[in-house]
Structure formats: structure tokens, C-alpha cells
Amino acid sequence: MAPPSSFNQSSKTVCVMDASGRLGSALVQRLLHRGYTVHAAVQNHGEILMQSLEGVAGDHKKLRVFHSDHLDYHSIMDALKGCSGLFYCFEPPPDQPTYDELMAEEEVRAAHNVLEACAQTESIDKVVFTSSVTAVIWRDARNSMLSDFDETHWSDINLCRKFKLWHALAKTLAEKTAWALAMDRGVNMVSINGGLLMGSDLTITNPYLKGAAEMYEDGVFVTVDLRLIVDAHVCVFEDTSAYGRYLCFNQVITSNKDALKLAHMLLPPSKSSPPPSLEDTKVYQQRISNNKLNKLMVGF
């Protein structure tokens, strides 16, 4: 998995914010392996980050850990100092892990602060902004669309509010805020709109899963493995031709078999076995495309 020959990451210092969660900590580990010096900005003590780095010999000398609050502009600036790039993924504060309308507002303010800080940091060349597929797929008349969902689509904010799809609302508003600031301030930004991140810590309370039945029936219920989404972040950062938004997923749940498999992961056995149905063999048509990312990552 060699980087482009013209790209010399050994001289690069990048920031990962927030490095407290699974995606952020995995990004830190991958970037260290690839020769980067990493500023890991964490909200808490970064336990997940430190666990992920156990056994990574020699990389700690290229790692600096910063305590950074999304709503504290100065702490963001401190973490970005001297960095040529930022990988930004919002993690809810440890004292409020659930999504509601207030969390959506906080995520928007955080995105605004971070992009403004990047605009004021002269060394920043590129921002990779982690968003979500939920910022793409929620809109009226989804079934009547002539084309598949792709990175050109946006979720409808009023629909998200109406049905209390707080995760989708937060991701849509935060990403739109980031894009508006990036364009206004001349910040080079690329976004990764990931599917449901799979892993042993996934539970039924994950806010992405609000409206899961509708996503399933619409053919847009997508999941992504940690390795793929980490690779996608690194690829769009290192590839100078990367631009705009990229949908990132490696499975579309369209069959009852796949849906049951996911249900077994999320629920105890007594609750994950629905009664037999005549539609058990039904397969819904996939209505979402990640061709743009696939083309970019062919040689990665």
C-alpha cells in the first residue's frame, strides 16, 4: 500500500481531531505507521488512543497528544500549530454521548470553530472532514428519484427535524457549515461520508440507526469497516486529485439474511429473531453508489 511517489510523508506533521474515538485513534496509528508526525487532539485522556498504540514500537516519538475542546478555539489552534493537514472527526463529549437537537447545534459550532482555526493556521494545506452517509440519504420522495444516491445529494434539514433524525441533522448541518467556511476562507477540504462503522462496540443505541428500517427498504443502508474508512481518509489526503465529497462503505444491507446478521450483532438472541415472514427472501435494490471513491482508491 505505497503512497504516490511524489508524496513524502516523512516530512509531514498532521493533526487528528478527535483522536479519542475508534476512528480517530485508528487514524493516528495508521499515520504513524506511514511516517507522519501526529498531533493527536483528544477531549479526554485518550484511553482508546493509547490502547490502540500498544505494541507500536518507535512511533511514540512522533506522537504529541493535545487536550482539545471543540468549543475552545485556542485549544484547537494549539493542536494545529505546525501541521500541514487535519483529519477531523467529531466525537460527542464524554458526558453527553447521545444525539439530540442540542448535540446537533454543538456539532455545528465545533465544525465552525475547527474550519475557522484551519483558515488562520498558515501551515494547513488540507482538511479531511469526516461526515456521514446520513448527511446524504434523508429526503422526501426518496423512492421516486431517477438516479442512485451519491456524493452530490444532501439530506433535507426540515425532514430530519420533522422525524427527529438528530444524527442526520447534525452531520448535514455540520458538513454544510464546514464547506461554506472552507470555500469562503480558501481552505482545501475533502469530506468522507461514511456508512455505519462496524465493530464489537456497535449497539442498537447508535444514533446512525434511527430510521434503519427505512434505509433498508430504500436500498441505502450501508456499513463500513474500520480499515476501509481509515484507508479512505489517508488516500484522499495523499492524493492531490481528490476533491469534494466521497461516500465510503463496503456493504449494502439489502437482504433479509444481511439484516438478520446485523440484528444478531446489535441485540440479545431473544430479541433479534423476528417471526418468519413471506418476504424473508426479498432483496431490495441498491440505491446508493460509491463509485467516486472506488475509482480514487484503485491504486492505493
What is the C-alpha separation between 272 and 76, in angstroms, rounded? 43
Residues of the chain where predicted confidence (pLDDT) is lower than 70: 1-11, 45-59, 97, 142-144, 268-280
Give the pLDDT score at 34. 94
Helix (H, G, I), strand (E, B) or coil at 154: coil
User: Residue 178: is it exposed, middle or buried by C-beta count within 10 angstroms (0-12/13-18/19+)?
Assistant: buried
Distance CA 92, CA 94 (A): 6
pLDDT at 299: 84
Angle between helices 166-185 and 101-120 (to 10 degrees): 20
Q: Give the C-alpha separation, 248 to 91, whole Å.
A: 18
Coil, strand or helix at 266: helix
Which amino acid makes up residue 163? F
Q: pTM value?
A: 0.91
Highest CATH level, class, for 11-296: alpha beta
Residue from 12, 126, 171, 210 carrying the catalytic annotation: 171
Task: Return the pLDDT at 103.
Answer: 93
Phi/psi of residue 14, nearest 5 degrees: -130, 160
CB 159 within 8 A of CB 203: no
pLDDT tens digit sequence for 167-206:
999 999 999 999 999 999 999 999 999 999 999 889 899 9
Continuous segment of H or E residues that includes residue 12: none
Residue 171: active-site member: yes
What would you report as the CA-atom Rg of the chain, rounded to the nearest whole angstrom? 19
Residue ranges per domain, the chain?
Answer: 11-296
Q: Could you write out the DSSP letters of every residue in 191-238? A: EEEE-EEPSTT--TT-GGGTTHHHHHHHT--EEE-HHHHHHHHHHHHH
